[in-house]
Structure 1
Amino acid sequence: MTIVIRNSLTRKIEELKTVEEGKVTIYTCGPTVYGVPHIGNYRTFFMSDMIRRYFEFKGLEVLHVMNITDIDDKTIRDSGKEGMPIKEFTEKYTDIFFEGIDWLHIKRAHVYPRATEHIQEMIDWIKKLVDKGYAYDAEDGVYFNIRKFKDYGKLINIKLEDLKVGERARSDEYDKENVQDFVLWKKSTEEELKRKIFYESPWGKGRPGWHIECSVMSTIYLGDTVDIHTGAVDLKFPHHTNEIAQTEVITGKPFVNYWVHGEMLNLKDEKMSKSLGNVKSLHQLMDKYEPDTFRYMYLSTRYDSVLDFTMDKLEGAQNSVERLRTTYETIQSHLRNLTQKSPMGKREEDLLNATKKLRKEFEEVMDNNFDTPKGLKVIHELAKDMNKYIKGEINHGALAEAFDLYKLLLDTYGLFEKSVSTDSMVGNETFDKLIQFLIELREAARKNKDYKTSDMIRDRLASMNIVLEDSPTGTIWKIKK
Structure 2
Amino acid sequence: MQVYNTLTRKKEEFKPLVPGKISMYVCGPTVYNYIHIGNARSAIAFDTIRRYFEYRGYEVKYVSNFTDVDDKMINQARQEKITVAQLAKRYIEAYTEDTRALNVEPASLHPRATEEIDSIIDFIQDLIAKGFAYEVDGDVYYRTKKFADYGKLSDQNIAQLEEGASEHVKDEEQQRKEDPIDFALWKAQKQADEIAWDSPWGKGRPGWHIECSVMSTKYLGNTIDIHAGGQDLEFPHHENEIAQSEAKTGQKFVNYWLHNGFVTVGKDQEKMSKSLHNFVTVHDIIQKIDPQILRFFMASVQYRRQINYSEENLSQAANIIDKFKNTLLNVAFRLEDQTESQADSELAAAIEMTEKKFVEAMDDDFNVQNALAAIYDLLPLVNANANAEKSDKSALKQFDHAFKAWIEVFGLDASQLVKQEASDDDAQIDELVKERDLARKNKDWARSDEIRDQLKEMGIIIQDTPQGTRWTRE
User: Is 1:319 paired with 2:339?
Assistant: no
Distance 1:144 1:386 in 2: 60
Q: Per-residue CA shift, 1:200-239, capped at 9, x if unaligned?
A: 0010000000000000011111111111011000001110
Distance 1:355 1:55 in 2: 21
One-letter amino acid of the structure 1 residue matched with residue 315 of structure 2: E
Q: Per-residue CA shift, 1:76-115, capped at 9, x if unaligned?
A: 1111111111111111111111111001001111100011
Q: Could you say if the C-alpha distance between residues 82 and 378 of structure 1 is closer, same or farther in structure 2, counting changes exceeding 3 Å?
A: same
Deviation at 1:421, TM superposition (A): 3.2
One-letter amino acid of the structure 1 residue matched with residue 61 of structure 2: L
1:412 to 409, 412, 421: 409
Deviation at 1:404, TM superposition (A): 2.0
Among the aligned pairs, what percent are the same residue?
37
1:145 to 140, 143, 146: 143
One-letter amino acid of the structure 2 residue matched with residue 307 of structure 1: I
Q: Per-residue CA shift, 1:41-100, capped at 9, x if unaligned?
A: 100110110000000110011110000000111111111111111111111111111111
Deviation at 1:15, TM superposition (A): 0.6
Distance 2:88 2:433 in 1: 59
One-letter amino acid of the structure 2 residue matched with residue 349 of structure 1: S
Deviation at 1:140, TM superposition (A): 5.2
Q: Which residue of 1 aligns with 2:21?
A: 23
Deviation at 1:478, TM superposition (A): 4.4
One-letter amino acid of the structure 2 residue matched with residue 365 of structure 1: A
Q: Per-residue CA shift, 1:264-312, capped at 9, x if unaligned?
A: 1111322111111111111221132112211221133211111122221
Deviation at 1:261, TM superposition (A): 0.1
Q: Which residue of 2 aligns with 1:298?
A: 298
User: Is 1:373 paired with 2:369?
Assistant: yes
Q: Which residue of 2 aligns with 1:260?
A: 258
Q: Which residue of 2 aligns with 1:79?
A: 77
Distance 1:449 1:213 in 2: 75
Distance 1:440 1:265 in 2: 46
2:464 to 452, 466, 470: 470
Query: Which moved further from structure 2: 56-65 or 139-148?
Result: 139-148
Distance 1:443 1:399 in 2: 29
The 8 Å contact of residues 262 and 307 in structure 2, kept in 1 or not, is answered as: yes
Q: Which residue of 2 aligns with 1:430?
A: none
Q: Which residue of 2 aligns with 1:329?
A: 329
Distance 1:377 1:179 in 2: 50
User: Is 1:127 paired with 2:120?
Assistant: no
Q: Which residue of 2 aligns with 1:68?
A: 66
SS in 2 for 1:36: coil
Q: Which residue of 1 aligns with 2:381?
A: 385
Q: Which residue of 2 aligns with 1:429?
A: none
The 8 Å contact of residues 383 and 406 in structure 1, kept in 2 or not, is answered as: no
Structure 2 residue runs without a partner (length 5+): 174-178
Question: Aligned residue pairs: how many?
Answer: 458
Q: Which residue of 1 aligns with 2:342?
A: 343
Q: Which residue of 1 aligns with 2:207?
A: 209
Deviation at 1:160, TM superposition (A): 3.6
Q: Could you say if the C-alpha distance between residues 289 and 207 of structure 1 is closer, same or farther in structure 2, counting changes exceeding 3 Å?
A: same
Deviation at 1:377, TM superposition (A): 1.2
Deviation at 1:388, TM superposition (A): 2.2
Q: Which residue of 2 aligns with 1:189?
A: 190
Q: Output the TM-score relative to the length of structure 2.
A: 0.88
Q: Could you say if the C-alpha distance between residues 440 and 297 of structure 1 is closer, same or farther in structure 2, counting changes exceeding 3 Å?
A: closer
The 8 Å contact of residues 140 and 187 in structure 1, kept in 2 or not, is answered as: yes
Deviation at 1:171, TM superposition (A): 12
The 8 Å contact of residues 150 and 160 in structure 1, kept in 2 or not, is answered as: no
Q: How do 1:7-22 and structure 2 match up within 5 A?
A: 7-22=5-20
The 8 Å contact of residues 134 and 145 in structure 1, kept in 2 or not, is answered as: yes
Distance 2:332 2:233 in 1: 44
User: Is 1:284 paired with 2:284?
Assistant: yes
Deviation at 1:440, TM superposition (A): 12
Query: Which moved further from structure 2: 400-409 or 91-100?
Result: 400-409
The 8 Å contact of residues 31 and 68 in structure 2, kept in 1 or not, is answered as: yes
SS in 1 for 2:238: helix
The 8 Å contact of residues 8 and 261 in structure 1, kept in 2 or not, is answered as: yes
Structure 1 residue runs without a partner (length 5+): 173-177, 427-433
SS in 1 for 2:183: strand
One-letter amino acid of the structure 2 residue matched with residue 288 of structure 1: K
Deviation at 1:316, TM superposition (A): 1.6
The 8 Å contact of residues 468 and 475 in structure 1, kept in 2 or not, is answered as: no
Deviation at 1:139, TM superposition (A): 2.6
Deviation at 1:343, TM superposition (A): 2.6
The 8 Å contact of residues 65 and 112 in structure 1, kept in 2 or not, is answered as: yes
2:154 to 137, 156, 162: 156
Deviation at 1:462, TM superposition (A): 10
Q: Which residue of 1 aligns with 2:394?
A: 397
Q: Output the TM-score relative to the length of structure 1.
A: 0.87
Q: Which residue of 2 aligns with 1:175?
A: none
Q: How do 1:159-170 and structure 2 match up within 5 A?
A: 159-164=157-162
SS in 2 for 1:189: coil
Distance 1:316 1:377 in 2: 14
SS in 1 for 2:3: strand
The 8 Å contact of residues 404 and 414 in structure 2, kept in 1 or not, is answered as: no
